[in-house]
């Protein structure tokens, strides 16, 4: 199975945009680290428990 590209407007992308909309540069750096942590946790759950994150469409590899 392969992950299909995530279009704009997904939950994490919206969360990041809302969190950094009026922030300073230091807040954006902190939020980038937080977003990376959320993505890593989602990938870990997919790999270990087979739990597919919300908004991810899996398709067979060719």
DSSP string, 1-17: -EEPPPPTT-HHHHHHH
- Least Cα distance to 19 among 5, 4, 29 occurs for 29
Identify the domain containing residue 11 by its residue range: 2-59
The predicted model scores a pTM of 0.60
- Least Cα distance to 35 among 21, 20, 23, 45 occurs for 20
Number of domains in the chain: 1
pLDDT (tens digit, 9 = 90+) per residue, 4-61? 555 545 777 777 777 777 777 888 888 888 888 988 998 899 899 988 887 777 788 8
pLDDT (tens digit, 9 = 90+) per residue, 23-39? 778 888 888 888 889 88
Structure tokens at 19: 């969190």
Residue 59: enclosing H or E segment and its boundaries? Answer: strand 58-59
């Amino acid at each position: 199975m392969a992950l299909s590209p995530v279009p704009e407007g997904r939950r994490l992308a919206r969360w990041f945009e809302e969190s950094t909309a009026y922030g300073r540069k230091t807040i954006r750096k902190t939020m980038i680290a937080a977003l990376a942590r959320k993505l890593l946790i989602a990938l870990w759950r997919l790999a270990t428990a087979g739990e597919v994150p919300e908004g991810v469409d899996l398709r067979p590899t060719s």
